[in-house]
Structure 1
Amino acid sequence: MSIAIRDVREHELDSVLALNNAAGPAILPLDAARLRQLYDSAEYFRVAERDGAIAGFLIGFGAHAEHDSSNFAWFRERYPDFFYIDRVAVASRRRGGGVGRALYADVQSYAELRYPQMACEVFLQPGTDHALLFHGSFGFREVGQHAMHVENRAEHDVRAAMLMKPLCSYPWVRDTYGDALPGEPWLLHPRPVRTANRATGLRA
C-alpha cells in the first residue's frame, strides 16, 4: 500500500503520543500537555498514513520560532536561519518500509523553499546507531555535540550529535521569488505559520 503524508488532525494526538512514547531511546517521551503545545506551535506537523493507520509523524520549526528545546537553542546560537526537525517517529511494525524516508522527503520539499538548511539531532547512546546512518544517508553531517539535561532519566545528561544539511534549492528560490512564493496550491502549507516574522527567507 502507498504512504500518504498529510497534516495531523487534532483528534489523532492520542495516537501520535502513543507512537512517540513507544519509539525507544532515539526520541524523548512526551505527555499530553507537551504534545498539545507542539501541536499549537509547530510550523510543520505531519503524519504518514499507511493502510488507514498512522505509521509515523514528524514535527518541525523554523529558526525564529518560540520553541523551548535546548537543542533548538544550540542551533539558533550558531546559525541564523534553518528549519529544525524537533522529532520524528515511525511505528515499530513499519520500520524499514519507507515511512521515515517518505516523511523526510516531504519535510525537505517544504523546507528547501523557505530555509537554507535543515537541522536535527541524534542521541549518542546504545540503540541509536541506525538513526545516525539514516540521517547520514540523507546528507546530514555532524556540526557539533550537545549535552542536554533530561529529567527522570538514570543519566540526566544525554549527549546528542548535532546535524545539519544544506538545502541546495533554497538560493535559487530566494533569488527568483524574493520574499513571496507563488500562490500555487501545492506551495501553500495548510498549517498556519505561527513563528515570528523572519528577518530573511521566504514565507508561503
Structure 2
Amino acid sequence: MSIVIRDVREHELDSVLALNNNAGLAILPLDAARVHHFYEHAEYFRVAERDGNLSGFLVGFGSGSGHDSSNFAWFAERNPSFFYIDRIVVASRRRGGGVGRAFYADVQSYAELRFPQLACEVFLDHGADPALLFHGSFGFKEVGQHVMPDVHVRASMLMKELCSYPWVRDTYGGVLPDLPWTRERKAASLHSERPTGT
C-alpha cells in the first residue's frame, strides 16, 4: 500500500500523542497541551497514513516562528534563516518501510521553497548510529553538538543546504504561486510573521 503524507487533523492529536510517547528514548515525551500547541502554531505538522492507519508524524518550524525549543534556539543563534524539524516519529511497526524517507522528501519539498537550510538534531545518548546514517544519506552534516539544559540530553546538530532555494527566491521573490502543494497550514499562517527571503 502507498504512504499518504497529509496535514494532521485535530481529532488525531490523541493518536499523535500516543505515537510520540511510545517511540522510546530517542524522542522526548509530550503531553496533550504540547501537542495542541504544535497543532496551533507549527508551520508544518503532517502525518503519514498507511493502510488506513497513522504511521507517524513530523512537526517543523521556520526560523521566524519564535519556537521555544532550546535546540531551535541553538540553530537560531548561528543561522539567520532555516527550517527546523522539531520531531519525527514513525510507529515501530512501520520503521524501515519508507515512512521516514517519505516524510523527509515531503518536508524538504516544503522547506526548499522558503528557506536555504534544513535543520534537525539526533540524540547521541541512546544508540544514534541508525539515525545518523539515515540523516547522512539525506545530505545532513553535523554543525555542532548541544546539551539540552532542561533534560541534559546531548544532541548532534545537523544541517542540510537546500540547493533549490536560491532559484525559488530569485524567480518568485518570496511570493509563491497559489497552488495546493505550495500553501502553508492555515493554523500556522495565522500565528507566524516570517520575513520573506534572505
TM bucket normalised to smaller: over 0.9
- Aligned residue for 1:185? 180
Equivalent-residue separation in structure 2 for 1:110 and 1:89 (angstroms): 18
Q: Where in structure 1 are there 5+ consecutive unaligned residues?
A: 151-155
User: Is contact 1:6–1:48 with CA below 8 Å preserved after alignment?
Assistant: yes
Change (3 A) 1:190 1:73: closer
Structure number with higher helix proportion: 2
* Residue 197 of structure 1, aligned match among 181, 185, 193: 193
Matched position secondary structure for 1:72: helix
Equivalent residues, number: 197
Q: Is the contact between residue 62 and residue 195 of structure 1 (CA under 8 Å) also seen in structure 2? A: no
Identity %: 73
Deviation at 1:201, TM superposition (A): 1.7
Shift of 1:67: 1.1
Do structure 1's residue 164 and structure 2's residue 155 form an aligned pair?
no
Contact 1:13 1:35 in 2 (8 A): yes
Unaligned runs of 5+ in 2: none
Question: Distance in 2 between the 1:72 and 1:189 partners?
Answer: 20
The answer on whether the counterparts of 2:26 and 2:126 sit within 8 Å (CA) in structure 1 is no
**In structure 2, what is the equivalent of residue 153 of structure 1?**
none
* Deviation, structure 1 residue 195: 4.9
* Residue pair 2:45, 2:59 contacting (<8 A) in 1 also: yes
Report the Cα distance in structure 2 between the residues aligned to 1:126 and 1:114, rounded to whole angstroms. 33
CA distance in 1, matches of 2:190, 2:162: 22
Which whole-Å CA distance do the structure 1 matches of 2:106 and 2:123 have between them? Answer: 23
Offset of residue 194 of structure 1? 4.2
Distance 2:122 2:40 in 1: 24
> Which position in structure 1 is the counterpart of 2:124?
124
- The question of whether the paired residues in 2 share the 8 Å contact of 1:122 and 1:132 is answered with yes
Instruction: Decide whether the 8 Å contact of 2:114 with 2:174 is kept in 1.
Output: no
TM-score, normalising length from structure 1? Answer: 0.92
